[in-house]
Amino acid sequence: MSSSDRVIIFDTTLRDGEQSPGASMTKEEKLRIAKALERMRVDVIEAGFAIASPGDFDAVKSIADTIQDSTICSLARALDADIERAAEALAGANSGRIHTFIATSPIHMQHKLRMQPDQVVEQAVRAIKKARNLCADVEFSCEDAGRSEIDFLCRIVEAAIDAGARTINIPDTVGYAIPHEYANLISELINRVPNADKAIFSVHCHNDLGLAVANSLAAVVAGARQVECTINGLGERAGNAALEEIVMAIKTRQDLLGVHTNIDTPHILSVSRMVSGITGFPVQPNKAIVGANAFAHESGIHQDGVLKHRETYEIMAAEDVGWHANKMVMGKHSGRSAFRSRLLELGIELASETELNAAFARFKDLADKKHEIFDEDLQALVSETLSEE
């Protein structure tokens, strides 16, 4: 199954994203986001952790009852009560998925679970079988897989697939992996687990070292065909892989990656803004894809290049992610060509090169005193220039 060239986008903004300290959302807010994710054609929406609280249960249920085109997923520990609660919340879903997990790293098994590896395998298998009795679509995650031993991972993944899991998620829970190491982990699993062809391998990367997107893409090259991610990279601690970056990297570098997603990319910016508005987490200006400066050019050399041919300094079109257009920021690094072009956009055509030079000199003086020169500033300085001549 991993040989398909489509990468399934699994959005966990409403579950792992909500685990960002301070990012909790109401049921109504979650439903608004879920509808926007569905419009953007996200394949799987992890709507919450049904057993976590009555509010989380209600949110998962209301999303499951409403959304038609995306699969709705609830997280559940490998425990009967969690799985039953998840199934109950998902009962009305057009397409539902139970996502069950247990930790597999030595440090988690010894100190957190206080269980022997054999017991962990047994509990995982039991949980998956129980989930499969309640829901046809079951995902299994090996929590802290990034720090787990490969032989044990192979063993538990094989058992999980035999028990009925059809998606196997290999999370880098603490954001510890680096790209080539994580890619090797995924390819080794796909090559060594005898029944690997019966499951889709998924990745779920945290951003503690700022490598979540790079690790996810390396895993896709190694054969993973589901990426778990969040809008604006929201998530526990330093966050999860950012959906907008994963999707646009796959689209922009299809030549090299050879895969695609179903995402309708012009929705990206509005969903990013919705999530930022609801959570109160601002998007930094230099954030890739959705930051205010992602398609802005300030330096004169860059502005001149872009005006002559967009692709000199842009690797994707601003419109493809929902911006109206790229933006020429008028500031002290801007050159004459961008200055003239902005004046023309404002309907100002100066009669001679002398007038243009005088207005440009005035613009440079002002730009030394102000971070950004707005259209009103340009209009004013042109009027002043002309009135002095």
> In the complex, which residues of this chain contact ligand KIV (CB under 6 A)?
16, 101, 141, 143, 169, 171, 173, 204, 206
| Closer CB to ligand KIV, 168 or 330, in the complex | 168
Element housing 170 (H / E): strand 167-172
Binding mask 3-42 for Zn ion (x = CB under 5 A): -------------x--------------------------
Asked if 298 is part of the footprint of Zn ion (rule: CB under 5 A), the reply reads no
Task: Pick one of Zn ion, ligand KIV, none as the site partner of residue 340 (Cβ within 5 to 8 A by kind).
Answer: none
Closest CB to Zn ion: residue number: 16
Task: Pick one of Zn ion, ligand KIV, none as the site partner of residue 166 (Cβ within 5 to 8 A by kind).
Answer: none
Asked if 304 is part of the footprint of Zn ion (rule: CB under 5 A), the reply reads no
| Closer CB to ligand KIV, 148 or 334, in the complex | 148
* Shortest separation between residue 357's beta carbon and ligand KIV, angstroms: 59
Query: Residue ranges of the alpha helices (H) in the chain?
Result: 27-39, 54-66, 80-90, 106-107, 117-134, 150-163, 179-192, 212-221, 243-252, 254-257, 268-279, 300-308, 336-345, 353-367, 375-388
Spatial separation of the C-alpha atoms in residues 14 and 353, rounded to whole Å: 57
Q: Give the pair of three-digit tokens for residue 9.
A: 């986008």
Task: Pick one of ligand KIV, Zn ion, none as the site partner of residue 140 (Cβ within 5 to 8 A by kind).
Answer: none
120 near 102, Cβ under 8 Å? yes
| Closer CB to Zn ion, 105 or 385, in the complex | 105
Asked if 172 is part of the footprint of Zn ion (rule: CB under 5 A), the reply reads no
Task: Pick one of ligand KIV, Zn ion, none as the site partner of residue 56 (Cβ within 5 to 8 A by kind).
Answer: none
Three-class SS of residue 310?
helix
Using alpha carbons, list the distances in angstroms from residue 97 to 30, 44, 57, 150, 176. Answer: 18, 9, 14, 27, 28
Binding residues for Mn(2+): 16, 204, 206, 240
